[in-house]
Amino acid sequence: MTDQDSAQNALPRPVERAWTQLLEALRQAGVPSAEEGAYGFGGLPPEVRRVLTFIDRRWPGAYAASDSATKIEETDMPPAPADPPIVATEQPAVDAAEVTPDAAEGMSMAVSKQTILLKNARIDQPYQETIALEGVDELELIDDADTGLALDPEQDAAILKGLPRHSGDFLLRLRGWRADRPCEISAHLAVIPDPKSLWVSKESDREDPFWKPDAVFQRVEGELLCIGASKRGRAHAKDGLFRDDHVGVSVDAASGWHIAAVADGAGSARFSRRGSQIAVDSVIEHLPARLQTHVSPHLDALVAAYLSQAPDAEARLKGQLYRALAAAAFDAAKAIEAEAAAHDQTAAAFSTTLVVGVARKLEDGWFFAAFSVGDGGAAVFDLDAESLTTLSLPDSGEFAGQTRFLHKSEFVDYEAVAKRIFFAVRPSFTAMILMTDGITDAKFPTETLFAQHAQWFAFWRDDLAQAVEFSRANADLQAQLLAWLDFWSPGNHDDRTLAVLVP
């Protein structure tokens, strides 16, 4: 080694003193000296090995030449000048036990830094991400940013995993080594919140003259169990608006008719919540008498003719149902018009849809019928027989995305009205269901799907009947059904209303 090489490779004085003390500590620990064939790095702690390697690379030869102060004096180098007076900036001596990656930074060891983006996590859902950085090993998590995540100690790879409990943007800090130099990694993580948590529910104004509860449940029993439920949608709840839907179910014990009605007030109509209420209440009140007058006396004969495929049986049945179902809906439209006039409003301010369904026991089987104006729908199905009969017609308005509403103008043409009347005769059935578009849009997003029996069977078997036990003995029926109405469906946050009739 030349004098010039020695000058270039000489340890800085503070480092030399620390180095000397480190060598002395190694000797006391029984580590072989340079004279015995160089220090045995293999038996040292990893932190100490890194420091020794760093010094040896930064100042070549210093490691072998600095076995002790006496060893340095035996070289051909000239005597070092006297130490300058100690000033406040002098580095304190470093004990061997204190030589860590952080202490190495104090010895001017350069620290490399890197920023990475982790894949997104979702709150309260298991998270796992493998962190693979080229040339970086011995990763450890220094700060989890209170995410609850940790590196899996059972894995050789750096696998970050856990169950995030908070949503937001987080910065995690990790530390590792790249080519015997410390490396700090800043890892950005976004934890996506549960969409439901972003919705708020504000009370509607109880002082409003047309106020009604945000959720209702009805239950009546006859030969069928008749259930009705309606719940304000999130889109209305977040702004403290009213429930525009309405529902009603009834059983006329004298005639044996089971009746259900659901209605969806138009969101653009100021008093639609009242319009839907008037429509349903009017039907529930007046339809039993119309059924008893126009349908009951002729039902058995008309059904027999229909089953025997008599040429005019279907038309005759529809004619009698027109005098009952369609007429009851027309009565409801007139009641809405009268209410509007009483408040110096137009009927359009009370606009609503309406779906009406009825069921009655026959000598051998069941008779079902329905009438509707506007969107929503009705159907009766039998899982055992794998059969479905839809009881409503897609009823669009003048433009795409619109619907029709219950106004007297909808009843000017008999043929047009008759197209909205449906009936079915069945030996048995699983359920008859009526629903507003808050449910049909989410569960049957197209007209094609609404007409598919497989879609209805899956809806019942895997969804509604999984969450709700439709049994007369079920004491939790109300809680189960109202909870189901709160199902999550992206983009579908309207009021939800349905009526279910089961044997």
* String of DSSP letters for 42-97: GGS-HHHHHHHHHHHHHSTTHHHHTS-HHHHHTSSSPPPPPPPPP-TTPPPP--GG
- Same domain for 100 and 119? no
Q: Does the pLDDT at position 268 exceed 90?
A: no
- Same domain for 230 and 350? yes
Q: Look at residue 371 and tell me if it is in a domain.
A: yes
What percentage of the chain exceeds 90 in pLDDT?
A: 62
Q: How confident is the model at residue 347 (pLDDT cuts 50, 70, 90)?
A: very high
Q: Report the relative pairing of strands 245-252 and 257-264 from DSSP bridges.
A: antiparallel
What does the alpha-carbon distance between residue 455 and residue 307 come to, in Å, rounded to a whole number?
A: 28
- Which of residues 148, 168, 197 is at a domain's end? 197
- Same domain for 211 and 289? yes
Q: Are 499 and 436 in contact (CB under 8 A)?
A: no
**Closest of 361, 357, 336, 355 to residue 347, by C-alpha:** 336
What does the alpha-carbon distance between residue 446 and residue 234 come to, in Å, rounded to a whole number?
A: 22
The radius of gyration of the chain from alpha carbons, rounded to an integer in Å, stands at 41
Q: Look at residue 84 and tell me if it is in a domain.
A: no
Q: Does the pLDDT at position 18 exceed 70?
A: no
Which range (62-66, 147-151, 262-266) has the least confidence? 62-66
- Same domain for 169 and 232? no
Q: 55 versus 322: which is more confidently predicted?
A: 322
- Same domain for 291 and 423? yes
Question: What was the pLDDT predicted at 61?
Answer: 53
- Which of residues 142, 177, 197 is at a domain's end? 197
Q: What average pLDDT does range 380-384 have in this prediction?
A: 96
Q: How confident is the model at residue 400 (pLDDT cuts 50, 70, 90)?
A: very low
- Same domain for 217 and 238? yes
Q: Does the pLDDT at position 1 exceed 70?
A: no
- CATH number, domain with residue 309: 3.60.40.10
- Same domain for 97 and 120? no
**What tokens does 319 get?**
């004619």
Q: What average pLDDT does range 329-350 have in this prediction?
A: 96
Q: How far is CA 466 from the centre of its chain?
A: 19
Residues present in the chain in total: 503
Q: What average pLDDT does range 467-496 have in this prediction?
A: 94
Please tell me what DSSP assigns to residue 340.
Answer: H
Q: How confident is the model at residue 93 (pLDDT cuts 50, 70, 90)?
A: very low
Question: What was the pLDDT predicted at 29?
Answer: 62
Backbone φ, ψ for residue 110 (5° rounding)? -65, 135
- CATH number, domain with residue 118: 2.60.40.10
Q: Look at residue 409 and tell me if it is in a domain.
A: yes
Please tell me what DSSP assigns to residue 429.
Answer: -
Q: 20 versus 396: which is more confidently predicted?
A: 20
Q: Report the relative pairing of strands 215-221 and 159-162 from DSSP bridges.
A: unpaired
Dihedral in degrees, nearest 10, Cα atoms 361, 328, 446, 389? 20
Question: What was the pLDDT predicted at 68?
Answer: 38
HSE-CB at 11 with a 13 A cutoff on CA atoms is 23
Q: Which residue has tokens 């209410």?
A: 339
Question: What was the pLDDT predicted at 91?
Answer: 40
Q: Look at residue 187 and tell me if it is in a domain.
A: yes
Q: Look at residue 85 and tell me if it is in a domain.
A: no
- Same domain for 289 and 417? yes
Q: What average pLDDT does range 198-217 have in this prediction?
A: 86
Beta strands in 134-280 (DSSP E): 136-143, 150-151, 159-162, 168-178, 181-192, 215-221, 225-231, 245-252, 257-264
What does the alpha-carbon distance between residue 233 and residue 237 come to, in Å, rounded to a whole number?
A: 6
Q: Are 284 and 259 in contact (CB under 8 A)?
A: yes
Q: What average pLDDT does range 448-459 have in this prediction?
A: 95
Q: Look at residue 385 and tell me if it is in a domain.
A: yes
Q: Is the dihedral of CA 408, 410, 416, 418 positive or negative?
A: negative
**Which residues form the domain of 314?**
205-502
- Same domain for 175 and 220? no
Residues in a beta bridge with 342: none
What does the alpha-carbon distance between residue 372 and residue 378 come to, in Å, rounded to a whole number?
A: 9
Q: Look at residue 320 and tell me if it is in a domain.
A: yes
List b or e across 294-305, with b for residues whose CB sees 16 or more CB atoms inside 10 angstroms.
bbbeebeebbeb
- Same domain for 349 and 404? yes
What does the alpha-carbon distance between residue 373 and residue 354 come to, in Å, rounded to a whole number?
A: 5
- Same domain for 157 and 238? no
Q: 53 versus 116: which is more confidently predicted?
A: 116
- Which of residues 151, 177, 197 is at a domain's end? 197
What does the alpha-carbon distance between residue 231 and residue 243 come to, in Å, rounded to a whole number?
A: 7
How many separate domains does the chain show? 3
- Same domain for 468 and 369? yes
Q: Look at residue 410 and tell me if it is in a domain.
A: yes
Q: How confident is the model at residue 343 (pLDDT cuts 50, 70, 90)?
A: very high
> Is the whole model's pTM more than 0.85, yes or no?
no
Question: What was the pLDDT predicted at 90?
Answer: 40
